[in-house]
Amino acid sequence: MDHMDWDRIPGPTWYLPEAARAAMEALTRSVDARQAARALADLRYAVTNDHAGTLYPAAVPAASVLLEAIGEQPGPPRQEALNALLDWWGCFCPEPGFGTYEDPLAGSVGLIEGIVRRVRGATDMLRRVADDPSGGGGHRPGAKLLLARLDEGWSEAGG
């Protein structure tokens, strides 16, 4: 994922690919869980308009980064990544005019469908995380909720 070309992904004028790239670089360089969680939060805000509840096309590959953090980085990074996906799920919709993502492997895909596919592809990992009692198990409710929402489907707010 570190080779993602954030510049090639279209978005509204307020999508800043350099912010996504900087977040990924910070994630790669993070030396502790606090820094990794901050980098994931920065990535989240780089690929969304959190105030308007909209997602930019770059949210699709960012979902893969969040899922990777859930699977590989316990503690604050895992929680940050779970919180981002749970906040998006069913509450966010594509930024007007930017409802598709050009997946290099699958071609054009609806933005929401692209995120859902990536979460669905991580189901086994999410089940492992939901069953993992490490660190007091504080991440378990979020992982279970994300799995439940996956089963329910994504109903866009207002849609």
Q: For 56-73, how does the pLDDT look when each residue is reduced to its tens digit (9 = 90+)?
A: 999 999 999 999 999 999
Show me where the domains of the chain are located: 6-152
CA–chain centroid gap for 107, Å, is 20
Q: Is the pLDDT of residue 80 over 60?
A: yes
Average pLDDT over residues 99-118: 94
Q: pTM (2 decimals)?
A: 0.94
Q: Is the pLDDT of residue 1 over 70?
A: no
Average per-residue pLDDT for the chain: 93
Amino acid 158: pLDDT: 40
Name the architecture of domain 6-152. Answer: Alpha Horseshoe (1.25)
